[in-house]
Structure 1
Amino acid sequence: MLAELFAVMAPVLAGAGLGYSWIRLGHPYPVEFVTRLVFNIGTPALVLASLSGADIDAGSFGRTMLATALVLVAMAGVAFGLSWLLRRDWRVLLAPTMYPNTGNMGLPVVLYAFGSSGFVFGITVMVTVALFQFTLGTMLVSRGNPLKTLVKTPTVYAILISLGLLITDTELPLWLDNSVDLISGFTVPLMLITLGVSLASIQVRSLKSGIGFSLMRIPVAAVVAWGVGQLVGLPPLATSILVLQMSMPVAVFNYLFAQKAGREPEYTASLVFCSTLLSLIYLPILLAILM
């Protein structure tokens, strides 16, 4: 079991460690460019490559999206409780409580722990979280129309195309399938490297509060995800991956949104950093239970 857990965590540590070391050695890294590349090209390609030929029916796909949405709504309620306990503005804690790192860290862990069959559910959870984050999240930090954000999000179209393929039991043409598969290949490695770069770039000033928040949020998220999975009737594999994904550390994007909104970005940085460090301890334990 220990060898299996190490095999899962080693690629995550290697990728993130590479990005972290790259910055610490003084090399430049175009975070904004890579983020746009991954979000606008890599992620849609990954969604198409993973879902177009996946062994998942439209019903399971829809239930997984619904379950993820319900967990996010429940965690929004948890954010108000945490804000009262920690004596912080609820607007500061809402995003870190709701949005775990289901992309940069979650997808690699799911891939190496559960293989391609589980990766499909991991992708489904990730895109649902991303849709919430880049619509509701954008609405909270600006006065823009969230519908415009949806229209401009390539992942939405990748989801719609994948749903159409799943419903009609149709496969992509071989030339397109090969092209999408090739392009999607850079997504997970770049996600991990960018995670390491982000951790090396943010400044942490409050380790105690970051660790305290993580110790409260993580078990609650796991229990809520398991309960919602049972309520919706997800298959055991999908439930395990929902629990794993929603227990991931705080997403780096929350720090970027906090900076944009001017809502205690230094505090949010500590939540990202501390929860990611703690994940190296609790994720192997969680994986031992779920695998």
Structure 2
Amino acid sequence: MFAELFAVMAPVIAGATLGFTWIRRGLDYPVAFVTKLVFNIGTPALVLASLSGADIDASSFGRTMLATALVLISMGALAFVLAKLLRRDWRVLLAPTMYPNTGNMGLPVVLYAFGESGFAFGITVMVTVSLFQFTLGTMLASRGNPLKSLVKTPTVYAIVISMALLLTDTELPLWLDNSVDLISGFTVPLMLITLGVSLASIQVKNLRSGIGFSLLRIPLAALTAWGIGTWLALPPAALAILVLQMSMPVAVFNYLFAQKAQREPAYVASLVFCSTLLSLIYLPILLAILM
């Protein structure tokens, strides 16, 4: 069992360590460019490549999206409770409580833990979280129009196309399938390297509060995901992946949104950093239960 768990975590640790070491050595890494590349090209290609040929029926896909949305809404409500317990502004804790790192860290873990068959569910959860984060998150971080942000998100169109293919039981033309599969290949490695780069760039000042928040959020997220997934009768693999994905550490993008809105970015940085470090301890335990 230990060898299997290590095989799952090793690629994640290796990729993040590579990015972390790269920055610590003073080498240049164009975070803005890579982020745009991953979210505008890599992620849509990954969604198409994973969902279009996935062995997942439309009902399971829809219920997984619904379950993810309900978990996010529930965690948003719990953010007000955590804000009172930790004596923080709810607007500071809302995003870190709602949005786990289902992309940079979640997808690689799901891929190596559950293989290609489970990866489609991991993509479904990640996509739903991204839609919430880049609409509601953008709205809270600025006065921008969330619908405008949604329309400009290529991943949305990839989801629509994938759902149409699932509902009609249609496959992509071979030339397009091969092209999308090739392009999507750079997405997960770049996500991991960028995660390491982001962690190396974050200045952490309050470790105690970051650890305290993580110890509260992680079990709440896991139990909420399990309860809602069971209620919606998700397939066993989808339920396990929903619990795993929603238990991921705080997403790095929460720090970027906090900086943009000027809502205690240093504190949010501590939440990202501490929860990511703690994940190296609790994720193997969670995987041992779920796998």
Shorter-chain TM-score category?
over 0.9
3-state DSSP of counterpart to 1:277: helix
Q: Which structure 2 residues correspond to residues 269-280 of structure 1 after superposition, within 5 A?
A: 269-280=269-280
Question: Aligned equivalents of 2:226 and 2:117: distance in 1?
Answer: 19
Question: Aligned equivalents of 2:108 and 2:193: distance in 1?
Answer: 12
What letter corresponds to residue 269 of structure 2 in structure 1? A
Question: Aligned equivalents of 1:58 and 1:146: distance in 2?
Answer: 27
* Cα deviation, residue 143, structure 1: 1.1
Alignment RMSD, CA only?
A: 0.3
Question: Aligned equivalents of 2:100 and 2:143: distance in 1?
Answer: 24
What letter corresponds to residue 231 of structure 1 in structure 2? W
Question: Aligned equivalents of 1:289 and 1:260: distance in 2?
Answer: 38
Q: Which residue does the alignment assign to 2:213?
A: 213
Question: Aligned equivalents of 1:52 and 1:214: distance in 2?
Answer: 35
Q: Which residue does the alignment assign to 1:195?
A: 195
Q: Which residue does the alignment assign to 1:181?
A: 181
Question: Aligned equivalents of 1:258 and 1:267: distance in 2?
Answer: 9
* Cα deviation, residue 144, structure 1: 1.1
Q: Which residue does the alignment assign to 1:151?
A: 151
Determine if the alignment matches structure 1 residue 6 to structure 2 residue 3: no
Q: Which structure 2 residues correspond to residues 7-26 of structure 1 after superposition, within 5 A?
A: 7-26=7-26
Question: Aligned equivalents of 1:144 and 1:209: distance in 2?
Answer: 31
Question: Aligned equivalents of 1:193 and 1:57: distance in 2?
Answer: 33
Q: Which residue does the alignment assign to 2:239?
A: 239
Question: Aligned equivalents of 2:139 and 2:247: distance in 1?
Answer: 25
Determine if the alignment matches structure 1 residue 142 to structure 2 residue 142: yes
3-state DSSP of counterpart to 1:88: coil
What letter corresponds to residue 202 of structure 2 in structure 1? I
Question: Aligned equivalents of 1:69 and 1:20: distance in 2?
Answer: 32
Number of residue pairs aligned between Structure 1 and Structure 2: 291
Question: Aligned equivalents of 2:139 and 2:13: distance in 1?
Answer: 34
Q: Which residue does the alignment assign to 2:66?
A: 66
Question: Aligned equivalents of 1:141 and 1:47: distance in 2?
Answer: 26
* Cα deviation, residue 197, structure 1: 0.2
What letter corresponds to residue 54 of structure 2 in structure 1? A
Q: Which residue does the alignment assign to 2:255?
A: 255
TM-score, length basis structure 2: 1.00
CA offset digits 1:185-244 (Å, max 9, x no partner): 000000000000000000000000000000000001000000000111101110000000
* Cα deviation, residue 251, structure 1: 0.1
Q: Which residue does the alignment assign to 1:162?
A: 162
Q: Which residue does the alignment assign to 2:266?
A: 266
Question: Aligned equivalents of 1:95 and 1:179: distance in 2?
Answer: 35
Q: Which residue does the alignment assign to 2:282?
A: 282
Determine if the alignment matches structure 1 residue 89 to structure 2 residue 86: no
TM-score, length basis structure 1: 1.00
Question: Aligned equivalents of 2:231 and 2:202: distance in 1?
Answer: 38
Question: Aligned equivalents of 2:80 and 2:250: distance in 1?
Answer: 17
Structure 1: runs of 5 or more not aligned: none
What letter corresponds to residue 208 of structure 2 in structure 1? K
CA offset digits 1:57-89 (Å, max 9, x no partner): 111100000000000000001100000000000
What letter corresponds to residue 257 of structure 2 in structure 1? F
Structure 2: runs of 5 or more not aligned: none
Question: Aligned equivalents of 2:203 and 2:143: distance in 1?
Answer: 28
3-state DSSP of counterpart to 1:105: helix
Question: Aligned equivalents of 1:187 and 1:141: distance in 2?
Answer: 26
CA offset digits 1:9-38 (Å, max 9, x no partner): 000000000000000011000001000000
Question: Aligned equivalents of 2:167 and 2:279: distance in 1?
Answer: 37
What letter corresponds to residue 289 of structure 1 in structure 2? I
CA offset digits 1:115-137 (Å, max 9, x no partner): 00110000000000000000000
What letter corresponds to residue 130 of structure 1 in structure 2? S
After TM superposition, what 4+ stretches of structure 1 lie above 2 angstroms from structure 2?
A: none
* Cα deviation, residue 141, structure 1: 1.1
Question: Aligned equivalents of 2:231 and 2:83: distance in 1?
Answer: 27
Determine if the alignment matches structure 1 residue 77 to structure 2 residue 77: yes
Question: Aligned equivalents of 2:209 and 2:92: distance in 1?
Answer: 13
What letter corresponds to residue 41 of structure 2 in structure 1? I
